[in-house]
Amino acid sequence: MTNGPRQGALIAGLVLIAIGVILFLEIWSEQFSILHFLGRYWPVILILVGVKKLYDYFTWQEPIAPDNAPKE
């Protein structure tokens, strides 16, 4: 079994938590603006996605076939 779905669930959970925190701050603080926040920090999202892709690339391992697999 690969870690793909498990890592995807972790990332999805972290993204949902981040969105929830941002929306909570939008409601709770009059000085906080989601549009200002995204307008200012959107490049960070691209950087984080790029770092995640590089991490996946360098940590990916070729799946090992089971010993009892039929041989061609």
Q: pLDDT tens across 12-65, in order?
A: 778 888 888 887 877 777 787 878 888 888 888 788 878 888 887 888 777 776
Amino acid 69: pLDDT:
58
* pLDDT over threshold 70, residue 6: no
CA distances from 52 to 19, 24, 47, 61, 69 (A): 18, 26, 9, 16, 33
Amino acid 1: pLDDT:
42
* pLDDT over threshold 80, residue 71: no
Domain ranges of the chain: 32-59
